[in-house]
A and B are shown apart, each in its own frame.
Chain A
Amino acid sequence: MKNIGISLIAVLILAALPTALSAVGLTGLITNILPYVAIAFFLIGFVFRILLWAKSPVPFRISTTCGQGKSLPWIKSNPVESPAGYWGVIARMAQEVFLFRSLFRNTDVAIVDGRPVYGSAKWLWFCGLLFHWSFAIIVLRHLRFFVEPIAPWIGALSALDGFFEIGIPTLYLSDAAILVGLTFLFLRRVVVPQMRYISLFTDYFSLLLIAGVVTTGLLMRHFFPADLNAVKALAMGWVTFSPVVPQEISAVFHIHLCFIFVLLAWFPASKLMHAGGIFLSPTRNLANDSRMQRHINPWNAPVKVHTYEEYEDEFRGKMKASGLPVEKE
C-alpha cells in the first residue's frame, strides 16, 4: 500500500506544480522550456537505452518456440511460431508488437479439490491491447495540433474514432477504451494480492501518470473547454522553433502539459522502455535455426588444439617402429 500512496502523492504534486509555477509567474517554464527538455530527454534517453542493450551479446539462439521447427521437408513446420528465417521472425515480431501474441497465451491456475487446474486468462491481454491501441490512436489524433495543414489521415482517424457522434464535442471511442484499460490495469495491481506484493512504485506511478494525462485531457474536451486556437498556436510554436508567448489557456491544460512532459522525460528511465525493448527480446527476435547454422560464441578464447593428423605427423616414425597402425604412410 505504501507504493500506491507514494505514487499517488507524486502525481498530485505534479498536478499542483503548474498552479504553483503560475503563481510565481513562471508559466513559460512549462509552455516553452519544458517541452524541449522533455523531448530531448526522451529521444536521447531512448537511443541511449537501446544502444546499451545492443551492447549485450546474445550468441546463442534462445528463441522460445510454440510450433514445429523447420526440419525435414515432409514434416509440416510452423514458420511463424518457430521461424527459421528473416520473414518468419518479422511475422512473429509483428504479432507480438501489434497483437501481444505472448500475452494471449496467458494462463491462470486455481486449486480445485486439492488439484491445480489450469485455464485460459485473457483479460490482461484484452485490456492491455485496449489500453495500448487507444493510447496510440490518441497520440496520432493529437497530431492535429502539431501539423498544418492537417494531413487527411489524421482527420479520417478522428472521424472514425468519433464515429457514433455521442455528445458535443464528440466522445472518442479511444478515450472511453483507454479508461477501461487503465482501470483494469490499475485495479489488477491493487486487488490481486500476488500482484500487489510484486508491484513497485514505478508500476503504480506510470499508470497513475497516464491516468492523469487522460483525465485532464477528457476534462478539457468535455467539461472545461480550452481555447484550441491558442493550444495549436503554442504547439506549432514548439515544432517550428518559433516560440509563442503563452496565452492564458487554462489551469487544466497546464496540468495536462506537465503530466505529459514528465511522462516523456521519465520514459527512458522507466519500465515504459518496453516499447523499445520488445524489439530486442531474444526469445522473440532470434530465428530458431540452431540446427542449420553454427552460432559461435564471440568471446570464446582461442583454444590450442592438437588434431590426430598432427599427432600422427609428429610420431609417425615411432608409431611405425613399435608396430602401431597409421592412417597415412
Chain B
Amino acid sequence: MKIYNGGKIVAGIVIFIIVVTFPFWYGKGKPSPPPQLSLDTPAIAQLQDKRCVEDVNFMRANHMKLLDAWRDESVREGKRLYTAKDGRTFEKSLSGACLKCHSNKEQFCDRCHNYLAAKPSCFSCHNIPGEVKK
C-alpha cells in the first residue's frame, strides 16, 4: 500500500518520537541516584539519640506540612511548643529547632529540593548565617 505525502508523514512521526522520548535522550542515559543527605554536623554528632522530631519516613514526606502548621500555630496562635508522637517536646522554630541540628542547609535541605525542583519559600525570610544568596 502506498503512503501518501510520505515525506511529511515521516517528518511528523520523527518529531513525535523525538518529543515523546525527551526524558530518554535528555540525560544521555546517565544514572542519577537520589542525593545522599549529610547528617554530619556538630549538633547531630553530640546527640545521644539520633532522632528527628518525628520518624524519618514521616519527616521525609511531611516536613513541609509540619513546618507550615508550626508557622501558623506559633505566629498566629502563640503556641510555641510541639509535642511529638512519642511525647518529646520541641520549640516550633525553623532556625531554633530544625536548623540547630541541620546546620548544613546546602548538604541537607538543598540537595533534595534541587533534585526535585522544590522551591520552598522558607529561606526567603529565614537567613542562614554565612550563606551567600545566589
Contact of A236 with B64 in the complex, beta carbons under 8 Å: no
Contact of B31 with A168 in the complex, beta carbons under 8 Å: no
Contact of A46 with B16 in the complex, beta carbons under 8 Å: yes
Contacts of B2 in A (CB 8 A): 55, 57, 298
Q: Within the complex, which residue of A47, A168, A235 is in contact with B65, where a contact is CB–CB below 8 Å?
A: A168
**Stretch of B6-14, B82-90, B97-105, B126-134 with 4 or more beta carbons under 8 angstroms from chain A:** B6-14
Number of interface residues, chain A, beta carbon within 8 A: 45
Contacts of A276 in B (CB 8 A): 16
| A245: interface (CB < 8 Å) | no
Complex-state Cα separation, A56 to B12, whole angstroms: 17
Tell me what chain A mostly uses at the interface: helix, strand, loop, or mixed: helix
Contacts of B76 in A (CB 8 A): none
Number of interface residues, chain B, beta carbon within 8 A: 41
| A135: interface (CB < 8 Å) | no
- Residues of A275-329 at the interface with B, using a CB-CB cut-off of 8 Å, are 276, 279, 298
Chain B residue with minimal CB distance to A152? B117
Distance from B109 Cβ to chain A, minimum over Cβ atoms (Å): 13
Contact of A229 with B60 in the complex, beta carbons under 8 Å: yes
* Given A54-B4, A143-B23, A150-B117, also A240-B68 (CB < 8 A): no
Contact of B115 with A239 in the complex, beta carbons under 8 Å: no
Contact of B24 with A168 in the complex, beta carbons under 8 Å: no
Q: Within the complex, which residue of B12, B24, B114, B119 is in contact with A50, where a contact is CB–CB below 8 Å?
A: B12
Contact of B115 with A51 in the complex, beta carbons under 8 Å: no
- Residues of B111-126 at the interface with A, using a CB-CB cut-off of 8 Å, are 112, 114-119, 121
Contact of B65 with A225 in the complex, beta carbons under 8 Å: yes
| B34: interface (CB < 8 Å) | yes
Q: Within the complex, which residue of A43, A144, A148 is in contact with B20, where a contact is CB–CB below 8 Å?
A: A43
| B33: interface (CB < 8 Å) | yes
9 shortest A-B CB distances, which residue pairs? Answer: A146-B23, A148-B32, A225-B61, A168-B68, A229-B34, A144-B117, A239-B23, A54-B9, A233-B34
Contact with B along A213-250 (1 / 0, CB 8 A): 00000000000011111101101110111100000000
Contact of B117 with A154 in the complex, beta carbons under 8 Å: yes
Contacts of B27 in A (CB 8 A): 147-148, 236, 239-240
| Chain B contacts to A: CB under 8 angstroms | 1-6, 9, 12-13, 16-17, 20-24, 26-27, 29-35, 57, 60-62, 64-65, 67-68, 112, 114-119, 121
Complex-state Cα separation, A154 to B60, whole angstroms: 23
| Chain A contacts to B: CB under 8 angstroms | 42-43, 46-47, 50-51, 54-58, 143-148, 150-151, 154-155, 158-159, 165, 167-169, 225-230, 232-233, 235-237, 239-242, 276, 279, 298
Contacts of B13 in A (CB 8 A): 47, 50-51
Complex-state Cα separation, A57 to B2, whole angstroms: 9
* Given A51-B9, A54-B4, A233-B34, also A227-B116 (CB < 8 A): no
Contacts of A167 in B (CB 8 A): 68
Chain A to chain B contacts (Cβ below 8 Å), 24 pairs: A43-B20, A46-B16, A54-B9, A55-B3, A146-B23, A147-B26, A155-B117, A158-B117, A168-B65, A225-B62, A226-B61, A227-B61, A229-B35, A229-B115, A230-B34, A232-B115, A233-B33, A233-B34, A235-B23, A236-B32, A236-B33, A239-B24, A240-B32, A276-B16
Distance from B22 Cβ to chain A, minimum over Cβ atoms (Å): 7
Distance from B77 Cβ to chain A, minimum over Cβ atoms (Å): 17
Contacts of A233 in B (CB 8 A): 33-34
Chain B residue with minimal CB distance to A222? B65
Contacts of A54 in B (CB 8 A): 3-6, 9
Distance from A150 Cβ to chain B, minimum over Cβ atoms (Å): 5
Beyond contacts A50-B9, A54-B9, A151-B26: 5 other A-B pairs, Cβ-Cβ < 8 A, are: A43-B21, A54-B4, A143-B23, A227-B61, A236-B27
Contacts of B117 in A (CB 8 A): 144, 150, 154-155, 158
Contact of A147 with B3 in the complex, beta carbons under 8 Å: no
Contacts of B119 in A (CB 8 A): 155, 158-159
